Amino acid sequence: MTEFGKPANFTRRVPDGDTQHRDVCTDCGFVHYDNPKVVAGAVVRSNGGILLCRRAIEPRVGFWTLPAGYMELNETVEQAALREAYEEAYARIEIDTLLAVYSIPRISQIQVIYRADLADPEIKPGVESLEVDLFSWDRIPWDEIAFPSVHWALNHFHEVSGQDVFAPFSNPDGETGDYPKAQRKG
């Protein structure tokens, strides 16, 4: 669990005054309250194209994804989506509306995905991207998409194409966000 130095020695127990089991360090007594993490991102459109980024980092190096990433402290979800688009594609975007809130319970992640517009045509790869590009719907590289939730977001985006107002999407029925077994590593 640590990046350097002596590893923390966690044991699983219910801290005093709590009701849930937590990881508690037997060295220093630290209680690690672990909560789901929020990914903020956007389906960004520009002249009929959709912005995708080819991943330079694990997991799924070389596969295409939406500009999206973990929220940092002290920002709004919208600020996080704008920051990620800039970090991954140097894309300046304007949020249009909320497209979806997905949950991936196996990895305790929720994803808040907006529909957005590219505000400036200049894009280029950030350090976490090998390549960034705009794809028309019939050019999307479906076999090289990084994660199931990217499929969901692209399809949901397409489903409400031309609609200004719609109820945002959740996970497609029965979908949990896990990879199909054939795509899983290891």
Interface with a copy of itself (CB under 8 A)? 1-9, 15-18, 20, 25, 27-32, 34-38, 70-79, 97-98, 101, 103, 105-106, 108, 110, 112, 165-168, 170-171
* Joined tokens for residue 84: 């990620």
Give whichever of 166 and 179 is closer to a copy of itself, judged by the CB atom: 166
Residue with tokens 């970090």: 87
Residue with tokens 């209680």: 31
Give whichever of 40 and 52 is closer to a copy of itself, judged by the CB atom: 40
CA angle 76/78/83 to nearest 5° reads: 95
Q: How far is the CB of 25 from a copy of itself (least distance, A)?
A: 6
Q: How far is the CB of 141 from a copy of itself (least distance, A)?
A: 29
Q: What amino acid is encoded at 105 in this protein? A: P
Give whichever of 70 and 179 is closer to a copy of itself, judged by the CB atom: 70
- Max CA-CA distance within the chain? 58
Give whichever of 18 and 120 is closer to a copy of itself, judged by the CB atom: 18
In contact, 145 and 63? CB cutoff 8 Å = yes
Alpha carbon of 9 to those of 1, 6, 119, 180: distances in Å? 9, 9, 48, 34
Give whichever of 167 and 182 is closer to a copy of itself, judged by the CB atom: 167
Q: How far is the CB of 53 from a copy of itself (least distance, A)?
A: 18
Q: How far is the CB of 85 from a copy of itself (least distance, A)?
A: 17
Residue with tokens 């940092």: 72
Which three-class secondary structure state does DSSP give residue 50? strand
Q: How far is the CB of 144 from a copy of itself (least distance, A)?
A: 27
